[in-house]
A = this chain, B = another copy of it.
Amino acid sequence: MITENHRFIFEEHIPEYKLAGRANHPEDTLVEAGGVKIGAGCPIAVMAGPCAVESAESIERIAEQVKAAGAGILRGGSYKPRTSPYSFQGLREEGLAYLKNAGRANGMPVISELVSEKDMDLFTDNVDLIQIGARNMQNFALLKAVGRIGKPVLLKRGTGATIDEWIMAAEYILAEGNPNVILCERGIRTFEYATRNTMDLAVVPIIKEKTHLPIVIDPSHATGNWKYVEPVALAAVAAGADGLLIEVHDDPDAAASDGMQSIKPERFAELMDKARLVAKAVGREI
């Protein structure tokens, strides 16, 4: 009989994920990035900072603020993949140096997005956690390249990618020998236009069930609107996420990129206070 549940018939046919799957690797993987451990049982890792590194001063100022509020890892894009070639593309090499310095000055490991294999050395030298962005989730040449190094990788889900494809993209990295993969959901593309993307929080239990990898949630890109970041971040913690990736800027209106979805440092501090309470309610720490 046809039923509304017939989608689930798929399940039987979905293959094991040789390396990412639970079947061959029952224990949870913990990934360490610059001294911060991320994964099941660890405190929830909060990665915060501006969408893009804009200057040495601004990244240092924001780093101090997010550190003070309790963030463990500093984020900041320096090679920005933008829809238009005429949008701000990032400070590149210079920005990475600013990011690293701001991180060091505050005792925080740093995460930044890699968009081309050519920049790999620069990233292995300057960055603690390499982000592969949604647009490159199936850039298999890039996935294989980060699979051949030892640095931990945070792999964002493509906005048009199924969970199966996302796990298989992680499999590309793992298959090259790099076991340090973190998955990060940032919302998928749907017909709804009240938000930039639609956050699919069911991925948290699904990734936990199917894989042994840590799962991080990015409420900033998922909603695209600073007003919705806090409730979605709290929801992610309640659902069991191992980390949060949040855009924070002290002058969002003047941000070079994604200002609308960035929250101010004082709001971030409030979010952290609330997130600690929710984390405690579900038996975790931040």
| A115-B141, A168-B85, A260-B8 known; A194-B163 Cβ under 8 A | yes
CB neighbours (8 Å) of A91 from chain B are none
Interface size on A, residues (CB 8 A): 86
**B198 adjacent to A200 (CB under 8 Å):** yes
Is A101 close to B, CB under 8 A? no
Q: Is the CB of B228 within 8 A of A206?
A: yes
Asked whether A200 and B192 contact (CB < 8 A) given A15-B2, A171-B85, the answer is yes
CB distance A228 to B199 under 8 Å?
no
Chain A, range 49-64, C-beta contacts under 8 Å to B: none
Which residues of chain A (213-250) have a CB below 8 Å from chain B? Answer: 222-225, 227-228, 231-232, 234-240
Which of A26-34, A38-46, A153-161 contacts its partner?
A153-161
Contact of A235 among B86, B192, B236 (CB under 8 A): B236
Q: How far is the CB of A231 from chain B (nearest CB, A)?
A: 4
Chain B residues with CB under 8 Å of A158's CB are 160
A204 touches B191 (CB 8 A): no
Query: Would A1 and B201 be within 8 Å (CB), given that A81-B138, A235-B235, A238-B237 are in contact?
Result: no
Quick one: which of A199, A223, A235 has the most chain B CB within 10 A? A235
Please name all residues of chain B whose beta carbon is closer than 8 Å to the beta carbon of A227 when the two chains form the complex.
205, 209
Decide if A202 is an interface residue (CB 8 Å cutoff).
yes
Q: A198-B200, A205-B228, A281-B278 are in contact. Are A83 and B165 (CB under 8 A)?
A: yes
- Would you call A193 and B162 a contact (CB within 8 A)? yes
Residues of A within 8 A of B (CB): 1-10, 13-15, 18, 81-87, 115-118, 135-136, 138-142, 158-165, 168, 171-172, 175, 188-196, 198-202, 204-206, 209, 222-225, 227-228, 231-232, 234-240, 258, 260-261, 274, 277-278, 280-282
